[in-house]
Amino acid sequence: MENCDFFQDFKANIISQYNDCDAYKLLCSSQNYDPNKELKVEDDMEKVPFITTTLFKKSANMYTKLLRTEPKNLDKWTVSSSTSGDPSIVGRSKQDLLQIKKFVEREGQTLDSTSQYNCVFYPEPEVMRKHKSIQILDKPTESYIGNILDTFSFSENTNFLLHPYKGEFSIDMEDFLEFLKEHDKKNQHISLRGSTLLLYNAVENLKDKMKPFQLGDRCTIHTGGGGWDGKKGSVNLGIKIERSKFVEEVSTFLGVPEENFIDTYSFTENTFPITGHYSKKYKSYLFHIPSWGRVILRDIKTLKPVHKEGQRGLIQMLNAYGTSSFAGASIMVDDIGEIVSEDRCPECGFNGMTIRIIGRVKGSEAKGCGATLNIKEVENV
């Protein structure tokens, strides 16, 4: 996949989506767009109509119309964690789920998947997948995060800190503390992974009660799942978390270098995750766009693509792979990104587009079939 011809594969995928999904064809028709005629060269990808993530929300009642296959051909419905109680619902086949696993495997070195010991701020993958599962059209719903966890190769020595409790989950703080004590000052190859919000909250609860630890420079802090606005699922800290503050405080208390912090950005309606390493200069994570995906940033007011360093825009993800069961080839999310570089990471030298995740558009709503967004307010997260 490293040597994939992304444009040709994306073109084939978007044309198939156009033919398979009546709702997407209707969207294209409303914009006088036909990918068979319009998609000739790579620059034409900027003209491809997108579907907004809001249309996958349960309340929109569109998720069955955004399928590219019959529901009987699905393996499951992947469901987002939702603070508002209105989750996204995306139908996926086994083939599409396996593609996500391939993406994660390609990022193995970046994600430091060879850690000997892992401490994870999530439940065990199967428990997370099946949490509050129901049947929709004879197919089960499963947590998207649970399915992402299932793609990762955890070592045998892995502590999953969240356990079922009264219909939700509780954190085993004693287990976390024992893990820290066990690996303190040993500089072993270990990783702390999982929810940004829960890791931060756990550190905040401990740092005033005891001396800092020294996990060393072989430890990786790998977060994901968002939550920078202080809210995720049923958890609400009531405050936003600044990325720089998170890294500085966790780094100081756990004794882990700031350059060992990485963050994964993904969402239920997308297929390829992107991973960023922390930058002291930018006081944020720098996310690399891999060769098997593309990102377009669109001006918040005009929705026109932006290209200059420092310009910000809504994030549009282009997927050439892993969307055979749903209309996910061109997805617009209500998050704002900033261009760091269109061709090379200024810090690590990665060849490819590099962005920062800035915040979320508050109060955005889809108009029509994802053709436009009504922007009411921009809120940093």
Q: 5 burial class (0-12, 13-18, 19+ CB within 10 angstroms)? A: exposed
Kindly state the DSSP code that residue 289 receives in the 8-state scheme. -
Considering only the C-alpha atoms of the chain, give the largest distance between any 2 of them, rounded to a whole number of Å. 65
* pLDDT at residue 371 greater than cutoff 50: no
Q: Edge-to-edge strand order for the sheet containing 89-92?
A: 89-92, 76-79, 139-143, 135-136
Least confident of 200-204, 329-333, 361-365: 361-365
Please report the domains of the chain, with CATH numbers, ordered by start residue: 6-380 (3.40.50.12780)
pLDDT for residue 375? 33
Q: What one-character-per-residue DSSP string does 68-103 give?
A: SS-GGG-SEEEE---SSS--BEEEE-HHHHHHHHHH
pTM: 0.92
Q: Tell me the pLDDT tens digit for each residue of 67-94.
A: 999 999 999 999 998 767 899 999 999 9
Least confident of 69-73, 230-234, 265-269, 308-312: 230-234
pLDDT for residue 153? 87
pLDDT for residue 284? 97
Q: Tell me the pLDDT tens digit for each residue of 261-307.
A: 999 999 999 999 999 999 999 999 999 999 999 999 999 999 999 99
pLDDT for residue 83? 66
Mean pLDDT of the 126-150 span: 96
Across the chain, mean pLDDT equals 92
Rounded Cα distance, 199 and 121, in Å: 7
* pLDDT at residue 364 greater than cutoff 60: no
Going by DSSP bridges, is the β-strand pair 51-52/330-341 parallel, antiparallel, or unpaired?
Answer: parallel
pLDDT for residue 236? 65
Percent of the chain at pLDDT above 70? 92
Which has the higher per-residue pLDDT, 231 or 30? Answer: 30
